[in-house]
């Protein structure tokens, strides 16, 4: 919501919290067949994209999310070649994936083409890899695409979605995870944005349980700061077909990746699960 056209505030009534940014000009207001997209110029965070009243991406802090949704999984899979991104219409995750020169193919499946086209106009730095010959942009339903995917054809699936409501609701259940499990190879990894450990622990617990029920033998969590999102602390949930996989820390060449946040030490720390989160997920879900 906006307050007197001067501030944008995302209010979470259930948590009793809000995050606000001082606004400049409204650059875009567009209702697509799927959602309402707004883009503002802010005073301190650059440009801000809002979808259905929720903050999505800003110029200033997007690197935190995009780097952490990409590199930890790619540096845990032993030899990732083929990556599918479900969602990710702003293309920042695609950009990070394609920093890995061994990636042969990266497909982005985004339901709303307008998110990508507006990002190309207002966040061009996130879209600089859209013309990479290894990249493919497909505009359609990610749930349907994954259900039709060739078994064992993908190494890493990244679900870079909005919150589990509206178009993204079907990405947070066992049926979808079963489709992902089938599409992944024997050492395949799924990583999905999973909200705030501080505010949304029941959602995380349900995700871990549904992923294991779908056949994944192990699950984990990465956590990282994200000022733009509720509580300022965000997470990605990992699911593994092979429980023996170990991160390839020695391969993390920060200069080559040109990252702003991610490095080998961040990778190690991000995989640690805080005690209260571990307890919330329960010993039946997280057992290591």
Catalytic residues: 160
DSSP the chain: -EETTTEEEEEETTTTEEEEEEEEEEEEEEE-SS-EEEEEEESSS-EEEEETTEEEEETTTHHHHHHHHHHHHHTTSSS--EEEEEE-TT-HHHHHHTTSTT--EEEEEES-HHHHHHHHHH-GGGGTTTT-TTEEEEES-HHHHHHHSPTT-EEEEEEE---SSGGGGGGSSHHHHHHHHHHEEEEEEEEEE---TTT-HHHHHHHHHHHHHTT-SEEEEEEEE-TTSGGGEEEEEEEES-TT----GGG--HHHHT-SS--HHHHHHHTPPPHHHHHHH-TTT---
């Amino acid at each position: 919501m906006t307050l007197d056209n001067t501030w944008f505030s995302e209010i979470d009534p259930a948590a009793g919290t809000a995050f606000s940014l001082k606004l400049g000009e409204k650059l875009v207001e567009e209702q697509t067949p799927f959602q309402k997209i707004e883009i503002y110029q802010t005073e301190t965070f650059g440009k801000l994209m809002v979808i259905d009243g929720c903050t999505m991406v800003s110029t200033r802090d997007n690197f935190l999310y995009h780097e952490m949704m990409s590199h930890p999984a790619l540096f845990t899979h032993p030899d990732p070649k083929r990556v599918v991104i479900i969602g990710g219409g702003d293309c920042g995750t695609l950009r990070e994936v394609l920093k890995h020169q061994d990636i042969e193919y990266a497909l982005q499946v985004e339901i709303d083409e307008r998110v990508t086209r507006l990002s190309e106009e207002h966040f061009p730095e996130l879209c600089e890899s859209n013309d990479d010959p290894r990249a493919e942009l497909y505009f359609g339903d990610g749930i349907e695409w994954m259900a039709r995917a060739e078994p064992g054809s993908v190494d890493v699936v990244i679900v870079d979605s909005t919150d589990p409501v509206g178009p993204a609701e079907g990405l947070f259940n066992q049926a979808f995870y079963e489709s992902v499990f089938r599409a992944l190879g024997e050492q395949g990894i799924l990583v999905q944005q999973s909200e705030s450990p501080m505010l949304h622990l029941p959602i995380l617990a349900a995700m871990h349980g549904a992923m294991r029920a779908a056949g994944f033998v192990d699950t984990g969590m990465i956590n990282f700061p994200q000022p733009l999102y509720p509580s300022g602390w965000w997470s990605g949930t990992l699911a593994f077909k092979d429980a023996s996989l170990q991160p390839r820390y020695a391969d993390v060449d920060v200069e080559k990746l040109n990252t702003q946040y991610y490095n080998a030490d961040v990778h190690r720390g991000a995989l640690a699960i805080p005690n209260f989160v571990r307890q919330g997920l329960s010993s039946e879900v997280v057992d290591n």
